[in-house]
Amino acid sequence: MARTASLSGFPEWLPEERLVEQHVLDSLRRTFELHGFGSIETRAVETVGQLLRKGEIDKEVYGLSRLQDDEGEEAKGKHDPHALALHFDLTVPFARYVVENAGYLAFPFRRYQIQKVWRGERPQEGRAREFTQADIDVVGDGELPFRYDVEIALVIAEALGALPIPEFRLRINNRKLAEGFYRGIGLPDTAGVLRSIDKLEKIGPDKVAELLKSELGATDEQAQAALKLAGIKTEDTSFVAQVRSLGVSNDLLEEGLNELEQVIEAAVKRVPGKVIADLSIARGLDYYTGTVVETVLVGHEQLGSICSGGRYDALASKGNRKFPGVGLSIGVTRLVSRILSQDLAKASRAVPTAVFVALTSDESWGEAQDVATELRSRGIAAEVAAKAEKFGKQIKFADRRGIPFVWFTDEDGKHQVKDIRSGVQVDADPATWTPSDEDIHVQVVAAPAS
């Protein structure tokens, strides 16, 4: 069970909890790099103008200022576009990074980025004010083939599938499909309709229908048509026929249908059971232009999306030069918080150390260091006792630390190692002795399915 942080919204993990988080991060890095994504890191600070140029979430942005300004320097207001603020996601900083470094990058540019972000939300499980995200994106110069939308979804399904988490589902829609449909039924304010549909799971269809009518001037028939579209969910490409049965004709709708069909068709073949066409998914940020994705843990839907993103065609530009992209972001802290609070996975021990080298006397410290050095040279984590206490006390210390093995060397130079979990003690040579694969490194083990 994860501890409650003393400062709400800013989680800090115990060592054994941090090992679980590191396992998640290492697994994600490994999958991303296997698919050819290179790592970058952007600065934590952006200008307010840069952060807020797409989508209005200024209430969630943390401004950055010194406690005391230089003498004679006027403090910058929170709406000054040149004021500094902490980034609230990694997509907007990445778009800026691409524009500034376009002359040095090879396109399509594939990157992954794992960093802290900050967002001024009301803290609760799954929502922190400081948290880690893991993003992958592919960005093109001028154009980006749609096939990358398909690839990104498959990479994320593989990455999540390697983590110690319950079953998950990528819920995928396409903004072109939705916007084309709304225009086809006579609702031109497609952004407004999307914002209302995005509230469907929180407030229900009746209240969404009222919003569509009161705020966007929709008729009963238009509101019901929009809700019928949002109600379509399939695990295969049968959603295409269901949308067409609604009798709406629009070129943008057809384009979106075709794109979503390609994503779902590929997913059914390569990651069966992991992806759903869900036409209620809207995504709140305005910069998405095509594929949109939200991901939930089965049985933990109340946690919200653990991975989201999509296609953005106009977020990054330099003069007439545009850099369209597609990417997805995994909420690492949200995932780890749920893993810990629900005991979904645990580290096999609390520390990396596999062997605690005991002292027979204070004078033997140098020889004990030689043993530890020999073990470390072969990748076995070891630490040495600080003083020569009774062996029983040294064993208890190792046990409290969660170290599985204690190494003893007698005055004649004979070595033995004891597994303090089983009590078995055997002769050993520091140049050759090796623990089992399960003990040489910390293992993060998923809890058995109930």
Q: Which residues are annotated as a binding site?
A: 89-91, 119, 133, 137, 283, 287-288
DSSP 185-234: TT---HHHHHHHHTTHHHH-HHHHHHHHHHHH---HHHHHHHHHHHT-EE
Residue 135 tokens read as 């993003």
Query: What separation in angstroms does the CA of 433 have from each of 85, 341, 349, 375?
Result: 53, 37, 20, 8
| Nearest by Cα to 108 from 328, 324, 330, 317 | 324
Bridge partner residues of 138 (DSSP)? 110, 326
Stated as kind and residue range, the H or E segment containing 19 is helix 15-34
| Nearest by Cα to 121 from 77, 61, 64 | 61
Return all residues near 138 (Cβ < 8 A) that are at least 6 apart. 108, 109, 110, 144, 148, 151, 152, 325, 326, 327
* CA atoms of 29 and 113, how far apart (whole Å): 9
* CA atoms of 352 and 291, how far apart (whole Å): 42
Report angle CA 359, 365, 367 to the nearest 5 degrees: 100
> For residue 31, how far is the Cα from the chain centroid?
13
Residue 215 tokens read as 């705020």
Helix-helix angle 190-197:205-216, to 10 degrees: 160
Bridge partner residues of 273 (DSSP)? none
| Nearest by Cα to 33 from 110, 116, 148, 93 | 110
| Nearest by Cα to 371 from 406, 407, 398 | 407
* CA atoms of 8 and 128, how far apart (whole Å): 8
Residue 177 tokens read as 């499909």
| Nearest by Cα to 174 from 251, 288, 334, 17 | 288
Residue 173 tokens read as 């829609």
| Nearest by Cα to 62 from 42, 83, 82, 41 | 83
> Which residues are part of a known binding site for L-histidine?
89-91, 119, 133, 137, 283, 287-288
Stated as kind and residue range, the H or E segment containing 391 is helix 391-401
